[in-house]
Chains A and B, each alone.
Chain A
Amino acid sequence: MRPLIVIRRIPNINFMGLRTVGFLLSGLMTIASIVLFLTQGLNYGIDFSGGTIIEVRSTSGPADLTKMRADLDSLGLRDVTLQNFGGADDVLIRLQEQSDKTQEQTVNQVKEKLGNAYEYRRTEVVGPTVGAELIKAGVEATILALFAIALYVWFRFEWPFGVGAMLSTLHDTITTVGLFSLLQIEFNLTTLAAILTIAGYSINDTVVIYDRVRETMRRYKSMDFGELINKSLNETLSRTILTVSTTALAVLSLLLFGGEVLRGFSIAMLWGIVVGTYSSLFIAAPILYYIRPKRGSGGDGASASGGNARPPATRETVTASGKS
């Protein structure tokens, strides 16, 4: 049984020639993301902002948002938002913490007012202290993840690779946050989980490419470095695209069928996968051109920090295959 599609030709794309365009684009996206985050901010879900959400489903056909809004307004609650959630029957009611009553009282009031015409599918109440703690823990975990990954790459490769990996991962996470700020998609705990996963996953193709760059460095000791990066990127392009595609397929299925609760997560993951691939090709690899790893005669395989990364035996096999 043979594959239906085989990519036989190794492409010859001049990634290094496009590096200025890539850096410019990424720089712009990063700055835009930071500006958006600072000006427009994120649409924090109650996990982070505190507050109450009640998901209801009308038991008699599509929910009448206007009537619900009027009903809830008559309770004198401040900052109530209503939106359809998934289907036309489902409505998500979001309430900020009220100054004059407890969140519990608010929930009871709303349920009393709306009565039995609705099925109460989900009620979540998060106090402000918990929200603040979760934000802190989330930011800490993301920063820790970035450093841990950079440290690992440094340990397995050489420090320039670590720097490149960290910058491209940072770029991926910042632009994901930017996307959430731009589209004002709810940013909640699951979204944060997606961002951490992106940090771990978007590094995958970077590592795959770095692996090849290192291998090519050993094999062609005198090749121009830009040319070397190009060669490595082109040789691994088919596998970069194929690995990303399988994960993207799984995430796409989550986005289409996984329901409303996972929507934010799926969007973040999908973006992370795409931008992660882009940044591996146009940021992580070209950066090496500027902060070059050592290409010495003896010390190339084993960097000072990762002495046990490659035993000499491997190097010999590599050279042997170079001849054949």
Chain B
Amino acid sequence: MLYFQGWKLTLILSVCLLGFIFALPNAFAPTTLDRWPSFLHRQVSLGLDLRGGSYLLLQVDMNTVEQERLNSLVDEVRTQLVTAKVGYSDLAAAGNHVSFTVRDSGRMNDVRDIITKIDPTLDVQIGTSGTVTLTPNQQALIQRRNSAIAQSIEIVRRRIDETGTKEPSIQREGDDRILLQLPGVDNPEHVKELIGRTAKMTFQLVDPNASPQDARSGRVPAGDVVLPSSETANGQPAQYYVVRRRVMVSGDTLTDAQATFGQNGAAVVSFKFDSTGARRFADATKENVGKPFAIVLDNKVISAPVIREPILGGSGQIEGNFTVQSANDLALLLRAGALPAPLTVLEERTVGPGLGADSIHAGALASVVGVILVVIFMVVFYGLFGVFADIALFFNLCIMMAALTLLGATLTLPGIAGIALTMGMAVDANVLIYERIREEVRGGRSLISSLQAGFERAFGTILDSHVTTLVAGALMFWLGSGPVKGFAVTLSLGVLTSLFSAILVTRLLIVTWLRRLKPKAIPI
């Protein structure tokens, strides 16, 4: 008890010292830190509830992902069957599968070959009447979902980066969600608008022979689809177009898009294709001079110009009823690329800078007052030993802040509550030890052996009572979202550091006091 091994002493002192050093930058303004050595530049990062900002939980619409997979499977099957001249009927996607009927059952082997060529992982069922059912297997679906999420995150990141938001954080959350944190954004409307659009652009020919009126009442010619124009001010589409299903060129072949001004001074979006896109666009426009084609964005026709001459240069302009802002947005979306599926906002939490600053202030005030109350309490009830506990408490706070800083944890308002709470709980261990020492003294033990017994016997109790709090902390971390997680982190961390400070630091202080002053009695 009286003796600390050299390495132990060094360890305790260096942990305290390092704790103090790395906690220190948090007490200064970032501008002051510029003159400090670079390893002291790190400060604990503040959560959005403290610094202000926007937190958005987005859901990727996986139904669309799966539906699109089935639709493209239908297209592939159709193309291949036509090329191989296999007669078929009733080709359609339904539920989670694609089915069709082969007219000539003698060609079933060819059909099998075709399916294997399209996708060997498809589950194929062939009925007696020549009905073929194709189901994408589970493994492939999971893979597709994963890549949809990854791709969505990438596209969201590009779009957010374009807006100039600083330090955005974009993470995957669970199976089909994306967590977006935007510090400093106190009105996320524009961001939500940008990520709320899939921005899937295609160029498709308009069917000149079909009338939109007929088509809307249900008589859509085979291979065509009816699409509305983009909405006007009153929220209703101005007109409808009958458009060929087949896509001439799709937006994923775009390499650049910029908002500029057209000849008549209106805002337009100019775009450039990559070489594949340019070739396809050139071919399509060569074959269809004089016919109108539709520029379709998210299933709405932006404009449907007539092809006056073949466009061979691989670039063009989109004219629509754009404002400067909407032309800029569209250009941004086209540059960033299309989302694989629509995103919906499940949860939004936005804190303005005013409330954030108030919360920091309230949290800091509450913590400081709490610590002062605890410090006074300990001195009143334990005198000199109370002072020892208070010194240990100070180092506990330092080590905790240093750990938060170095771990890169995020401090939230509930996190501050966790710190305040653990300050109260940290001295619990001291109380347990001191009360035990008192009892031993009352039992007639000598000074040294009372101290020894106090520390030894209290240890098991302290451990038991701390482990249960850690269990609760771990569960909170595991279940919790944002604010609760912040609380769980500081609570668990505080419990751990208080074990160190209350047991080792206090003991070191008492031992030093014993050796230096050689007291005759314990002042408690």
Q: Interface on A for B, CB 8 Å cutoff?
A: 1-6, 55, 57, 104, 108, 119-127, 129-130, 134, 137-138, 140-141, 144-145, 148-149, 152-153, 156, 189-190, 192-193, 196-197, 199-201, 203-205, 207-208, 211, 235-236, 238-239, 242-243, 245-254, 256-259, 261-262, 265-266, 269, 317, 321, 324
Contact = CB atoms under 8 A, between A and B. Distances in A.
Contacts, number: 241
Contacts of A252: 370, 373
Contact of A256 (B366, B445, B464): B366
B480 A193 contact: yes
Contacts of A1: 379, 383-384, 387, 523
Interface string B23-67: 000000000000000000000000001000000010000000000
A121 B421 contact: no
B contact residues, range: 35 or more
Contacts of B380: 3-5
Given A153-B464, A246-B431, A250-B421, 18 more contacts: A2-B523, A104-B192, A125-B345, A127-B347, A137-B479, A145-B475, A201-B472, A207-B465, A238-B435, A246-B377, A246-B428, A250-B370, A250-B374, A250-B425, A252-B373, A262-B417, A321-B440, A324-B445
Given A124-B350, A148-B471, A253 B487 contact: no
B421 A254 contact: yes
Q: Which 9 A-B pairs have the closest CB atoms?
A: A200-B472, A250-B424, A259-B362, A253-B370, A239-B435, A247-B424, A121-B355, A3-B383, A257-B366
Nearest to A203: B468
A254 B487 CA distance: 14
A6 B437 CA distance: 13
Contacts of B367: 253
A269 B423 CA distance: 14
A130 B424 contact: no
Contact of A124 (B349, B359, B416, B439): B349
A188 to B, nearest CB: 9
B122 interface: no
A250 B420 contact: yes
Contacts of B480: 189, 193
Contact of B346 (A130, A201, A261): A130
B476 interface: yes
B420 A242 contact: no
A249 B461 contact: no
Contact of B424 (A149, A211, A249, A324): A249
A83 B380 CA distance: 42
B373 A258 contact: no
B373 A253 contact: yes
Interface string B443-456: 11100000001000
B414 interface: yes
Contacts of A138: 479
A239 B379 CA distance: 15
Contacts of A197: 421, 469, 472-473, 476, 487, 491
Contacts of A3: 379-383, 385-386, 523-524
B430 to A, nearest CB: 9
